[in-house]
Structure 1
């Protein structure tokens, strides 16, 4: 009986941890394993290629030369759904100056497409990172997380940031 209660408690704790949408605001998440920026290669953090939800292929190197916001979301995340309107507005406001890219994970493509439809996401690419390649590259362990990259692909900010505060970070990068 005690073993069953212990297992039930552990399963419940794990489910609650997974059901939440990540760590507290401002949590920078795990540091890159190399001590530098994630994917410290000759093309910096922009060195990734992954499928898009519309059936194409997205090459991160196309973002080089301008700041970018990567929004890591999951199709079942209520916090992500709540952020969608602000992220849409951010993408529209910075069109041509900085890129916004949705990086869907922790689900399958049909669920991701349904989330995009339900959230009315448009005007910026949505990546279908089913294998978690981009998530791993940037050390993501939870959804509803943002990574802001500078023009060289170095991480300028990361974590469970308020989407409403992202313009300040982008403006700073664009001015510098």
Structure 2
């Protein structure tokens, strides 16, 4: 399978494992850019957890954390029970810069071919609708 340019990056997850975004190729994906102190991010955590459960195997979800310390990021993932999906430690902001993210909580949604289908903020209802469109 050809890996689209949008998924040619790798990183280290918060639990220290290596992660290659190429593993998400071939199905729609959500890149969620969040910060551990962000109240909006906290309010979206449950929706992402529910989407992860509902669309398991049909949709990739990757959290990309920045703007905080690793212990703060770990606490956020633990507090909101988000460990079932991978979260990259992007403390240096490399991926945030690559995708042109200037604020949290922002989404980059990729279709099956890796093309950016949406980039920006979404509330819970909008997020649910976009996921339905992506996976239809």
TM-score normalised per structure 2:
0.91
* Deviation by residue 1:90-123 (Cα, 9 ceiling, x = unmatched): 1111110011111101112111001111222132
Q: How is 1:55-134 mapped onto 2 (pairs within 5 angstroms)? A: 55-134=16-95
Structure 1: give runs of 5+ residues left out of the alignment.
1-41
Runs of 4+ in 1 over 4 A off after TM superposition: none
SS in 2 for 1:124: coil
* Deviation by residue 1:29-49 (Cα, 9 ceiling, x = unmatched): xxxxxxxxxxxxx73211111
Shift, 1:50, TM fit: 0.8
SS in 2 for 1:143: coil
Larger Rg: 1
**Contact 1:86/1:164 (<8 A) preserved:** no
State the alpha-carbon separation in 2 of the partners of residues 155 and 125 from structure 1. 20
TM-score normalised per structure 1:
0.72
SS in 2 for 1:158: strand
Alpha-carbon spacing, 1:119–1:97, altered in 2? closer, same or farther (3 Å): same
**Contact 1:75/1:107 (<8 A) preserved:** yes
**Contact 1:53/1:126 (<8 A) preserved:** yes
SS in 2 for 1:161: coil
State the alpha-carbon separation in 1 of the partners of residues 28 and 97 from structure 2. 20
* Deviation by residue 1:2-61 (Cα, 9 ceiling, x = unmatched): xxxxxxxxxxxxxxxxxxxxxxxxxxxxxxxxxxxxxxxx73211111110011011111
- Going by fraction, where is strand more abundant, 1 or 2? 2
SS in 2 for 1:157: strand
Task: Work out the number of aligned pairs and report it.
Answer: 134
Q: How is 1:2-17 mapped onto 2 (pairs within 5 angstroms)? A: none
* Deviation by residue 1:52-74 (Cα, 9 ceiling, x = unmatched): 00110111111110000111100
